[in-house]
Amino acid sequence: MKRTRIKNIFSEGNIGQTITICGWVRSKRESKGVAFIALNDGSTQDTLQLVVPSDSSAFNKLSGCNTGAAIRAAGLLKESLGKGQKYEVEVSDLEIFGEADSEAYPLQKKGHTLEFLREIGHLRPRTNTFGAVFRVRNVLSNAVHEFFQSRGFIWVHTPIITASDCEGAGDLFTVTSLDLEKLPAGNNGDIDFSQDFFGKRAYLTVSGQLEAEFLAMSLGDVYTFGPTFRAENSNTSRHLSEFWMIEPEMAFADINDVMQLAEDFIHSLCGMALEKCEDEIAFFEKFYKNTSINDLRSLAEKPFVRMTYTEAIKVLEKTKEKFEFPVKWGLDLQSEHERYLTDKVFKGPVIVVDYPKGIKAFYMRQNTDGKTVAAMDVLVPKVGEIIGGSQREERLELLEGRMNDMGLPLENIQWYLDLRRYGSAPHAGFGLGFERMVQYITGMSNIRDVIPCPRAPQSIKF
RNA sequence: UCCCGGGUAGCUCAGCCGGCAGAGCGAGUGGCUGUUAACCACUUUGUCGGGGGUUCGAAUCCCUCCCCGGGAGCCA
């Protein structure tokens, strides 16, 4: 079926041409002499105005053209006679693919709350808001690849099913082909996973980092971009059980290199969103007011504030601001502390580096002070932690020592330790939650509104 | 998982000191208009989240479960 995308009509605008467009009706206004249809096909933010004169054969098909109906229209592209739009199509031929009963169709030409739209996840992409979100999401996905590819990073596909359970990144979903009605009993009354599909217990990945490390220690600079699963019972506007994560890993790099990479990366994504999604960003600015073209422009250019954890604690100790949780060296920064730094003190992204080793993962490189590790978090206003990264511990003895101190078993992870035995080198990387990035750029306040099918505890509809 | 707030028409919400279930929007019909989430008039709509209890009588009070939202923790 030949059709012109509405996006292309607006960009090319060949006035006087006969064109065919397909899409879904947003609204219809009828009168005696003429009827107007606002049509959207998902390719762009704006609707195209269709004009149906009463003497056109299309006019008597209008009763089936209610909000939500899928139609094809053909006619002449003209400069609009009315205000509010540049182009319109004078329809000479109209075909209705599928009507949408106006009594039953949940989306009507009125505002709906995001909470309500979450209940109709299969229809919400037809709204202005979700059309915009998913177009921005697409542009950002592509921007991720463009950024890394242009810097010579190699995209690696780390496994979704994994056997490593000691990453400490979160609770895992078990993957099994065992009959859940008849689970084989092991020695101590627990389940005998040696009879399971892989011969041992398997999980959905919580991070591709450990695998990305061995690929970096052979290919140089790599990145992952794929789905990640966490079984934590997290009920917040910033957590999903299934989300997409981006994890670059650089060989021959230290913590400063990875901080710079993180900053360049965010700058680049903001710039790309501005360049390719101006209409969408303008829409978010107008209707939700949590993002703006000007904010993004400065985010795309302004250097991030950088400070050590120790400096951050000093800032937090000095303020008169009252916090619910204590501020003390050695304790992790709470959301309220992070928000104070990003929203009130610096009014922009902040990179905090060199955290106490007691609150960070085993694989992070120990600093010479004996107290801290080369870990960094990028904190952004409203969303909070968007990136967590570190220089990895490349010294075998120190890594083993740390694992022993933390009571982590070494036997299943000898392959990871091998990287420190054979040709070990400094390397560093970070993890970025893609949905949080989409949230940050669109200003959507709930993470469930930036992914088509959000998975969360007790929630797997659609 | 914890702390708050909420669940009443298709949607947003009022009613909650117990006594006939309401408004706006939407939708429908008619009118009018090169219209812009058009406008005007009329019409339409209920398992008051589920279950149990108190009471002559419960949307309203009590218990319980479920679901949703905000915040917190865990994290990206």
pLDDT for A169 equals 60
CA of A116 to C1' of B18 (A): 32
Long-range contacts of A271-277 (CB under 8 A, 24+ apart): A271/A300, A272/A139, A272/A140, A272/A142, A272/A143, A272/A146, A273/A136, A273/A139, A273/A140, A273/A143, A273/A441, A274/A300, A276/A139, A277/A132, A277/A135, A277/A136, A277/A139
State how far Cα A285 lies from the chain centre: 19
CA of A118 to C1' of B67 (A): 13
- Nearest nt (C1') from A49 Cα: B36
- Nearest nt (C1') from A36 Cα: B35
pLDDT for A275 equals 95
Q: Which residue is nearest to nucleotide B33 (CA to C1')?
A: A31
CA of A125 to C1' of B73 (A): 32
pLDDT for A439 equals 94
Q: Is the ipTM of this complex over 0.95?
A: no
Q: Which residue is nearest to nucleotide B32 (CA to C1')?
A: A31
Per-residue model confidence as pLDDT tens digits over A323-344? 888 999 999 999 999 999 998 9
Q: Which residues of chain A have pLDDT under 50?
A: none
* Distance of alpha carbon A166 from alpha carbon A399, whole angstroms: 14
CA of A391 to C1' of B68 (A): 41
Q: Which nucleotides of B are covered by protein (CB under 7 A)?
A: 1-2, 10-13, 25-28, 32-38, 66-76
- Nearest nt (C1') from A229 Cα: B76
CA of A400 to C1' of B67 (A): 47
Reading the block at residue A215, the tokens are 């690929």
Main-chain dihedrals φ then ψ at residue A281, nearest 5 degrees: -65, -40
Q: Which of A28, A8, A443 is nearest to A237 (CA)?
A: A443
pLDDT for A166 equals 60
- Nearest nt (C1') from A432 Cα: B76
Reading the block at residue A72, the tokens are 């094809």
CA of A238 to C1' of B52 (A): 37
* Distance of alpha carbon A245 from alpha carbon A431, whole angstroms: 7
Q: What do you get for the CA distance between the two ends of chain A, in Å?
A: 29
CA of A73 to C1' of B53 (A): 61
Reading the block at residue A290, the tokens are 């949590």
Domains annotated for chain A, with CATH where assigned, are 6-108 (2.40.50.140), 126-171+206-449 (3.30.930.10)
- Nearest nt (C1') from A104 Cα: B10
pLDDT for A259 equals 96
CA of A156 to C1' of B73 (A): 33
- Nearest nt (C1') from A82 Cα: B34
CA of A115 to C1' of B58 (A): 29
- Crossing angle of the two packed helices A434-442 and A128-150, in degrees rounded to 10: 120
Instruction: Render A48-74 in DSSP notation, one character per residue.
Output: EEEEEETTSGGGGGGGG--TT-EEEEE
* Distance of alpha carbon A17 from alpha carbon A13, whole angstroms: 9
* Distance of alpha carbon A246 from alpha carbon A141, whole angstroms: 10
CA of A384 to C1' of B71 (A): 14
Q: Which residue is nearest to nucleotide B27 (CA to C1')?
A: A103
Q: Which residue is nearest to nucleotide B44 (CA to C1')?
A: A103
Q: Which residue is nearest to nucleotide B76 (CA to C1')?
A: A433
The side-by-side arrangement of strands in the sheet containing A384-391 is A154-155, A221-229, A242-251, A427-433, A384-391, A372-380, A350-356, A305-308
- Is residue A183 left, alpha or beta, with left meaning phi > 0 and alpha meaning psi from -120 to 50? beta
Main-chain dihedrals φ then ψ at residue A73, nearest 5 degrees: -130, 145
Within 10 angstroms of residue A381's Cβ, the number of other Cβ atoms is 20
